[in-house]
Amino acid sequence: MSEPTALAVEEVVAGYGGVLALQSVSVTVRPATITAVLGANGAGKTTLLRAISGVVRPRQGRVLVGGQDVTGRSAEDMARGGVAHVPEGQGVIAELTVQENLRLGAFWRSGRATRAGALAEAYQRFPVLAGARNRAAGTLSGGERQMLVIARALMSRPRVLLLDEPSLGLAPKIVSQVMELTAGLRESGLTVLLVEQNARSALSIADQGIVLNLGKVVMAADAVTLAADVGLRKHYLGF
């Protein structure tokens, strides 16, 4: 039975201490699509991802994954429940090897064969990582690290993938490789929420997008409409 919505965020209010970063934000995401989350710095994009993955607990509102209410669950439970969050700054554990990082993606999955299979699949998909498997992850280049953390996230066979600023600090050629890779994930049935400052690249692969400003949704539409709206682009997206 296919669910109508892979991910739904309903009027979520969330913040840190006295500061509210999200003020009643709602998003609906269909399965096997890419949704771009856009907006300037401080708009609340990262907080939105954190509210979904369980790092930040929503003060109001609900988060539903595959129709199930998962509001308030811990990050560890969400990770094991099919929501993979690749944080801003990539989140490579530099002191561990590439292989160890990858294995961390699936250590909780039951069955040795399953885990070994996932690892083999990761090396097949990302040959660069196979070549570097015993190197300390901290020695990888920026683009390789981004590959590593996406591969690591895929190890857990997630239903929903949250990507926070994957293009940050990467050269344009690498950025397009990462975007291509992300687009390819959609073909495998993965639902992707993509936070990006680089709105142009994000919209080039996204199906729909939402624009946040100061914790509120300013606009939500399909990607083509967003990319064509010159006023919106100038005001919030920077291009």
Partner 1 sequence: MEEFGQLTLGGISVGMIYAAIALSLVLIWRATRILNYAQGGMAMFTTYVALLVINHTGSYWAGFVVALAAGLVLGAVIERVVIRPVENKPPLNAIIITIGLLVFLEGLAGIIYGGQFRSFPAAFSIDGLHIGSAALGISANDVFVALAVLAAALLLGAGFRYTSAGLQMRAAAFSPPVARLLGVRVGRMLTLGWALAGLIGALAGVLVSPSTFLYPNSMDSIFVLGFTAAVIGGLDSPAGAVAGGLILGVALSYVGGYLGSDLVNLFGLAALVLVLMVRPSGLFSPAATRQV
Interface segment toward partner 1; rule CB under 8 A; list 1-9, 76-84, 186-194, 209-217: 76-84
Cα of first residue to Cα of last residue in the chain, in angstroms, is: 41
Candidates 2-10, 32-40, 98-106, 188-196: pick the segment binding partner 1 (CB under 8 A).
Answer: 98-106
Pattern 117-156, partner 1, x by CB under 8 A: -----------------------------------x---x
If one asks whether residue 108 binds partner 1 (CB under 8 A), the answer comes out as yes
Shortest separation between residue 100's beta carbon and partner 1, angstroms: 6
If the CB atoms of residues 129 and 226 are measured against partner 1, the closer one turns out to be 129
> Could you give the string, one character per residue 151-170, with x where binding to partner 1 holds by CB under 8 A and - elsewhere?
-x---x--------------
Site for partner 1 in 219-238 (CB under 8 A): none
Do residues 147 and 90 touch, judged by C-beta distance below 8 A? no
Among 42, 60, 69, 74, binds partner 1 (CB under 8 A): 74
Q: Examine residue 55 and tell whether it contacts partner 1 (CB under 8 A).
A: yes
Examine residue 171 and tell whether it contacts partner 1 (CB under 8 A): no
In the complex, minimum distance from the CB of residue 155 to partner 1, in angstroms, rounded to a whole number: 9
Position among 100, 121, 207, 229 found at the interface with partner 1 (CB under 8 A): 100
Report the residue from 4, 16, 67, 76 that binds partner 1 according to the rule CB under 8 A: 76
- Would you say 155 or 223 has its CB closer to partner 1? 155
Burial of 111: CB neighbours in 10 Å, binned 0-12, 13-18, 19+: exposed
- Is 93 near partner 1 (CB under 8 A)? yes
